[in-house]
Structure 1
Amino acid sequence: MALLRISRACRRFQTSHLSVSLTQSLFHSNPNPSPNQCLSLFHNSPTNPLKQSDRRCISNLVEAFRFRDFNSIRLVQSAGISTSHGIAEEEEKKNGDHEGDRRGPKSELSWIELYLPKQAQPYARLARLDKPIGTWLLVWPCMWSITLAASPGSLPDIKMLMLFGCGAVLLRGAGCTVNDLLDQDIDTKVERTRMRPVASGDLTTFQGLCFLGFQLLLGLGILLQLNNYSRILGASSLLLVFSYPLMKRVTFWPQAYLGLTFNWGALLGWAAVKGSLDPVVVLPLYLSGVFWTLVYDTIYAHQDKEDDLKVGVKSTALRFGDSTKEWVTGFGIACISSLALSGFNADIGWPYYTFLAAASGQLAWQIWTVDLSCRADCNRKFVSNKWFGAIIFSGILLGRLSS
């Protein structure tokens, strides 16, 4: 109700020609005014130029402030109303939602909350549609492989690129659904994950299973458009998808298992174009993706290392500890070397190696500059890997066109 009132009040503010100085004067005289003080200033000031309708707007706004909810403060700010002299900052500190804090980056309303019906929002969040970085990381190996399989001097198959793009959204969503269903007991104990739809109770386990079936059915429709060899190869990846969430319980190397799962598209993309696999090209490409995943997901895992210790799950972040940068540097070198070998075996043109050098610099920047003790910085470096994938894709595309 507070959010509804404050939203209405904010819309009224935007349509009226209210001077910002009035709001600033309110908080300048008292950085933490009570609701009654707010009402007294706006209703009783002799210089108050507000219309009666604006006064009602202020009343609704101040009444909503009684709840002092951080999200309400954010909605006021998004409407263009200044909450000066530390009110929002105090609320951020109180709720632990500031940069460098254990929660990581500041949370904001996503397009899911803004545009989707309320009933559909938990399902969209379950599929992580508001966090596309996972889809990028899944789709790039597919795009690399499809483009590498193109004939010399030719563009890649556009239909295949579109099919695999849609498939990546569905498969990533299905993987997240499986993960949340199997990990709901763990997610409730971890601060970063306790508000996920299944863990928080927004969706039941049965609803999650039904949604998983729906995603897999759509994915099957895409898979059936590929050749028989690719259908078998693609279906076999489901074994990895369904078993991956269990790996953190049994091994300190779940990131390696994620690499095997997330980069399956490096095999599948080539097979979809060629109808078979060429091991000297696709195996180094596949391994490069596995090493790449070990880099970015180890950095990502450092966000949760304290919580992982508490709940008893494993990760490479815990396995490597203070030696993390040395380990991921080795994985980065192995990734770039495997990409170079794959391109060489595919007889790709020289532009590829220029872009590979640029990608090496991007990966080195991540590893050397990441602050593994800062959750926000770990997340920033993790998200930046979409650009690493884009650089490699551009290199393969231009290298194939020039070969």
Structure 2
Amino acid sequence: MSFSTPLGQFADICRMIKIEHSVFALPYAWAGAFLAAGGLPSARSLIFLTIGMIAARSFAMAFNRLADLPFDRDNPRTQNRPLVTGAISKGQTWAFCGLMALIFAAACACLNSLCLWLSIPALVFAAAYSLLKRFTALCHFWLGATLGLAPLAGWISVNPASMPLTPVLLFLAVTFWVAAFDIYYAFQDLDFDLAFGLYSAPSVYGPETSLALAAFSHAMTSIFLLLTGFAAGLSWPWYALWLGISLLLLLEHRLMRPQDLRYVNTAFFTLNGIISPVVLVGVLLGIYL
């Protein structure tokens, strides 16, 4: 039985915002909070950080569906999305965006004044990604930076008085990590993007250059994760897990072939869904051992 809400069926809402993809950003936000606290943050910080992260991500995904609706109707890959099929209306989606924005701002207010002041710019930054594909192939890196805000948000939720190098390095690692797998994901829409004049790395630079750009981004991810450990003074478990993450990134790159996309979901979701929790575990073990 599907739970019905004024904004649509709950299952349709979860499909619209791809709730399962929360695994990408949330562990980085928690990692930022643990690094800022040098251990276990307060329960209050973790609770409202989690609420804020889920709300911000839900807002960004719903806004993305609204912005992409003219294209999603014509793209065979996206024609079953709830907003396209009418399972959720545009009015319901706008209302959902407004509700998530309010929840996000309220969660930020419960953390500290800096989080509250930054809440609206953060929402605008997240929403802007949805429009960039119309103008520039740098959209992948903008999406990366949007998710890269997670460790910064985690840090200032605990320690708003300072912003040292550690969370900035983790921000850069996440930015390049997300940009790489978003480039991989864009291979699915190469022909569509070319036909409709949309700017993705594969449609602008071609498959081979895009693969090289993704490989470069993965290399930067590995470097910045290593530097994060140095800056935070993490102990040996972090470096052991960093090596494992680097090998997973290499495997991800080896799986991707523009001519054969059978492994795109493995590369996009399965492997990347492993990496972010491993980063969190590495931070915890690096702090406590």
Q: Name the TM-score, length of structure 1 as normaliser.
A: 0.66
Partner residue, 1:303: 188
Structure 1 residue 160, shift from structure 2 partner:
2.9
Partner residue, 1:228: 113
Q: 2:242 aligns with which of 349, 356, 361?
A: 356
Taking the aligned partners of 2:72 and 2:17, their CA distance within structure 1 comes to 18
Taking the aligned partners of 1:126 and 1:115, their CA distance within structure 2 comes to 11
Partner residue, 2:74: 189
Matched, 1:336 2:225: no
Structure 1 residue 376, shift from structure 2 partner:
4.0
Counterpart amino acid of 1:347? G
Q: Provide, for residues 100-159 of structure 1, a one-character-per-residue CA deviation record: whole Å limited to 9, x for no partner.
A: xxxxxxxxxxxxxx53338765565345367334211121321221121122xx334444
Taking the aligned partners of 1:121 and 1:196, their CA distance within structure 2 comes to 13
Unmatched tracts of structure 2, length 5 or more: none
Counterpart amino acid of 1:331? S
Taking the TM superposition and a 5 Å limit, the aligned residue runs for 1:166-245 are: 166-245=51-130
Kept after mapping to 2: 8 A contact 1:285/1:342: yes
Unmatched tracts of structure 1, length 5 or more: 1-113
Matched, 1:115 2:19: no
Structure 1 residue 276, shift from structure 2 partner:
2.7
Taking the aligned partners of 1:365 and 1:186, their CA distance within structure 2 comes to 32
Taking the aligned partners of 2:118 and 2:162, their CA distance within structure 1 comes to 10
Count residues with an aligned counterpart: 287
Partner residue, 2:137: 252
Partner residue, 1:132: 19
Q: Provide, for residues 269-299 of structure 1, a one-character-per-residue CA deviation record: whole Å limited to 9, x for no partner.
A: 1111112332321211111110001111111
Q: Evaluate the alpha carbon distance shift between residue 376 and residue 161 of structure 1 in structure 2; reply closer, same or farther with a 3 A threshold.
A: farther
Identical columns (%): 25
Structure 1 residue 320, shift from structure 2 partner:
4.4
Structure 1 residue 371, shift from structure 2 partner:
3.4
Partner residue, 2:32: 145
Counterpart amino acid of 1:189? D
Kept after mapping to 2: 8 A contact 1:133/1:386: no
Partner residue, 2:233: 347
Higher relative contact order (CA 8 A, sep 6+): 2
Counterpart amino acid of 1:198? L
Partner residue, 1:266: 151
Counterpart amino acid of 1:215? M
Matched, 1:395 2:257: no
Taking the TM superposition and a 5 Å limit, the aligned residue runs for 1:20-35 are: none
Q: Evaluate the alpha carbon distance shift between residue 332 and residue 245 of structure 1 in structure 2; reply closer, same or farther with a 3 A threshold.
A: same
- The DSSP-based 3-state class of the residue aligned with 1:302 is helix
Q: Evaluate the alpha carbon distance shift between residue 121 and residue 398 of structure 1 in structure 2; reply closer, same or farther with a 3 A threshold.
A: same
Task: Compute the RMSD of aligned alpha carbons.
Answer: 2.2
- The DSSP-based 3-state class of the residue aligned with 2:80 is coil
Partner residue, 1:105: none
Q: Name the TM-score, length of structure 2 as normaliser.
A: 0.91
Taking the aligned partners of 1:202 and 1:393, their CA distance within structure 2 comes to 36
Normalized per residue, the structure richer in helix is: 2
